[in-house]
Structure formats: C-alpha cells, structure tokens
C-alpha cells in the first residue's frame, strides 16, 4: 500500500492549534508536545509488517528554508530517508531540484550492491569537495591540488602562498576532480550546479 501525505507541516500546524486550545504549553517554535507525538505515530505506521507493507511519502514544508526547524528535525529523525529540494536549483531551471548532499537514504546500503555504494560515496565526496570550493572557483581564486589537508611541509607552504596570492584565506579545490577513481571526475564534470 502507498501512503502519500501532503503535508506533515499542515498536519502539525492543525495539531498545534488543537493543542494550544486544549491548554498544552508551547515548546519549540510554538509547537506543542502532542504535535511530535502525532508525527511519530503517523510516520511509524508505515513499514513492513507480517501481513503487508505500507510505503509512505510525506512532504514537509520548511519555513524560510530553515533546516533546523523543529518540525523538519523531527521528520528527519523519524523517516528512513529524505529528499531535500533546493530553491536555488529550481531558480536555475534545474529539475528536479534535488540537493544531493542534503538528501539521505538510511536503507540504501541494504538495497544496493557494495560496488554501487562505493561509487555513490565517491561521487558524494567529490560533490562535497566541489561545493566547499564553489565560491573560489567562481571568483577565480581556485588553486589546483590544494584542499587544506597537508600532505607534506612543501605542499602546505605552496598552498598557503597560493591562497595568500589569491587574497583568500579559504581552502582550494582537491586534485580528485582531475584524478579520481572510476572516472568519477568525468561524472562530476557533467553535473550542472
């Protein structure tokens, strides 16, 4: 069975109003304790049981893109995985605007091969390294072969002087974009960011 709930945020807001009217004390961001109890009961109903399986898809609307919203945190803690959409990617007409680094599946390692998992982790690490250096790349301060992790004293001194020459105290990009296993750099070069 497939359960689709759009949206947990509206359900939580309605339960908050009921809780406040019943005299419950507000907690984080005005949500009452009954909100989090209701969310847990609803989300935990989905799963695999002896007589069948319920797969749930729930939407959660973030207020002002606040990933630390208590409702968002509660949903993330209860769900087996989540797909985060990125407003910035949508504004660039990148569809679906899925934020790869913010999206997680806790059950993925159990349903894919070890080889697939290794390649997925390589891509995620490369993508994270790129995201950490994205501004440097855009303003032209990117320096090849320097990621802030010292390999040798000479390498550290060379990177520090390159960063100083560029007028930036941040880190610069890793050579993994140019020399990565399994052709991952080719995949990264095709990603639209």
Quick check: 129 and 184 in contact, CB under 8 A? no
Q: What is the pLDDT of residues 112-128, one digit of tens each?
A: 999 999 999 999 999 89
pLDDT at 140 over 90: no
DSSP for residue 178: T
Q: What is the pLDDT of residues 34-56, one digit of tens each?
A: 999 999 999 999 988 888 999 99
pLDDT at 14 over 60: yes
The Cα angle at residue 173 between residues 170 and 179, in degrees rounded to 5: 165
Distance, CA of 166 to CA of 148 (rounded, Å): 15
Quick check: 166 and 173 in contact, CB under 8 A? no
Please return the burial class of 165, using the count of CB atoms within 10 Å of its CB with bins 0-12, 13-18 and 19+: exposed
Q: What is the pLDDT of residues 67-111, one digit of tens each?
A: 788 999 999 999 999 999 999 999 999 999 999 999 999 999 999
DSSP for residue 98: B
Q: Higher-confidence residue: 190 or 115?
A: 115
């Amino acid at each position: 069975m497939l359960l689709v709930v759009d949206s947990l945020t509206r359900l939580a807001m309605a339960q908050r109003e009921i809780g406040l009217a019943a005299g419950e004390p507000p907690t984080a961001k005005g949500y009452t304790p009954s909100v989090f109890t209701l969310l847990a009961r609803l989300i935990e109903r989905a799963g695999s049981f002896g007589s069948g399986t319920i797969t749930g898809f729930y939407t959660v609307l973030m207020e002002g893109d606040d990933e630390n919203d208590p409702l968002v945190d509660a949903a993330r803690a209860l769900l087996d995985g989540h797909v985060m959409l990125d407003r910035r990617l949508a504004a660039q007409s990148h569809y679906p605007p899925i934020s790869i680094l913010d999206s997680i599946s806790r059950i993925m390692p159990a349903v894919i091969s070890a080889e697939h998992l290794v390649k997925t982790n390589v891509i995620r690490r490369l993508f994270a390294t790129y995201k950490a250096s994205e501004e440097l790349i855009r303003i032209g301060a990117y320096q090849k072969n320097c990621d802030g992790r010292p390999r040798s004293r000479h390498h550290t001194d060379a990177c520090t002087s390159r960063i100083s020459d560029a007028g930036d105290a941040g880190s610069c990009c890793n050579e993994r974009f140019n020399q990565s296993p399994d052709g991952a750099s080719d995949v990264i070069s095709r990603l639209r960011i």
